[in-house]
Amino acid sequence: MSVMFLPLRLIPAPVQAVVLTTVLDLFFSRDAGLAEMIEELEGKVFHIHVQDAGKDFYMGFTHGRPWVHPSHNEGVDVRIDATTGGFARLCFAHEDPDDLVFRRVLKLSGDSEAMLRFKKLLAAADIDWERELRGAFGDYFGSRVADAARALLAAEARFRDASRDAAGRCLRDIDVPTHERMEVWQAGVEEASRRTRRLKARISRLGKTAPTGQQPPQPPPQDDAD
């Protein structure tokens, strides 16, 4: 998946698919411990959609070997949606797949059993994409892809920080209550509610004890110290 993170979007999708298939095939062939998990995904097809790049890839496993194609005419079992940065976080920042799904960085839909098995495979494999690309295609290509992915992650982090700071300034400018002010306000509401319940209970007791045909005496006024 790492070729998706290159800014060189003019690379034809079939070329990217060949690169991805080569890396995955070499990696999985060396790790016999993943064979059982790959076998559980036999025949399953995963549609990978890179939202901001407008790229689509289809990944599957046949006879224990992975394949990646730029198109697929048959049905798919799972759809995986993310931005380029989302896939970069998965592949180069080694963030936990479950955490990325929980935070909606990765969006999975389709066969729930296949999704769980695929996430399990991703977590167990933990592919070092830079090392694999260097080994398969040379240091220059591998380092370029890794550098582009790291630059993208750094740019997204700066953008998130700048957005958070800008949002904070806007909230301060319109005098949105701070967390501390909201806590004080909530405490005041709870105290007012408590006093209201006490007053209603007093009125109810006075009504029950008043002589028939007479209005119950009015309760004394509440003061702030009550």
**What is the tens place of the pLDDT at every residue in 178-189?**
667 777 777 778
90 and 193 inside one domain: no
Q: Which pLDDT value is given to residue 45?
A: 94
pLDDT digits (tens, 9 = 90+) for 26-42: 888 888 888 899 999 99
Does residue 93 belong to any structural domain of this protein?
A: yes
Does residue 217 belong to any structural domain of this protein?
A: no
Which of the listed residues 139, 166, 193 is the one where a domain comes to its end? 166
Residue 143 sits at the vertex; the CA angle it makes with 130 and 106, to the nearest 5 degrees, is: 50
Does residue 220 belong to any structural domain of this protein?
A: no
95 versus 39: which is more confidently predicted?
39
For residue 85, list its beta bridge partners.
none
Provide the angle, in degrees to the nearest 10, between the axes of the packed helices 84-91 and 139-173.
Answer: 120
121 and 185 inside one domain: no
Does residue 86 belong to any structural domain of this protein?
A: yes
Which residues form the domain of 54?
2-166
Q: What is the spatial distance between Cα 68 and Cα 13, in angstroms, rounded to a whole number?
A: 10
Q: Which pLDDT value is given to residue 27?
A: 86
58 and 124 inside one domain: yes
Classify 106 as helix, strand or coil: coil
98 and 187 inside one domain: no
149 versus 44: which is more confidently predicted?
44
- pLDDT for residue 81 is more than 70: yes
- pLDDT for residue 80 is more than 80: yes
162 and 186 inside one domain: no
162 and 193 inside one domain: no
Does residue 214 belong to any structural domain of this protein?
A: no
152 and 199 inside one domain: no
- pLDDT for residue 93 is more than 50: yes
146 and 202 inside one domain: no
- pLDDT for residue 162 is more than 90: no
- pLDDT for residue 76 is more than 90: yes
pLDDT digits (tens, 9 = 90+) for 50-67: 887 788 999 999 988 999
Number of domains in the chain: 2
Does residue 40 belong to any structural domain of this protein?
A: yes
- pLDDT for residue 12 is more than 60: yes
User: Domain of 13: which CATH number?
Assistant: 3.30.1050.10
Among the listed residues 9, 20, 28, the one whose alpha carbon sits nearest the alpha carbon of residue 48: 20
Q: How many Cα atoms are found within 13 Å in the side-chain-facing hemisphere of 143?
A: 3
Does residue 218 belong to any structural domain of this protein?
A: no
Beta strands in 70-173 (DSSP E): 78-82, 107-110
Reading phi first (left if > 0) and then psi (alpha if -120 to 50, else beta), residue 126 is in: left
With beta carbons less than 8 A apart as the criterion, state whether 121 and 41 touch.
yes
Q: Which pLDDT value is given to residue 216?
A: 55
17 and 52 inside one domain: yes
Selection from 23-27, 147-151, 195-199 with the highest mean pLDDT: 23-27
96 and 195 inside one domain: no
pTM of the model: 0.62
Q: Which pLDDT value is given to residue 26?
A: 84
Choose the weakest-confidence range: 25-39, 100-114, 131-145. Answer: 131-145
39 versus 4: which is more confidently predicted?
39
With beta carbons less than 8 A apart as the criterion, state whether 42 and 64 touch.
yes
Does residue 189 belong to any structural domain of this protein?
A: yes
7 and 99 inside one domain: yes
In the block, tokens 């695929």 appear at 118
Which of the listed residues 166, 197, 220 is the one where a domain comes to its end? 166
Q: What is the spatial distance between Cα 19 and Cα 82, in angstroms, rounded to a whole number?
A: 20
Selection from 73-82, 167-176, 201-210 with the highest mean pLDDT: 73-82
86 and 142 inside one domain: yes
DSSP 220: P
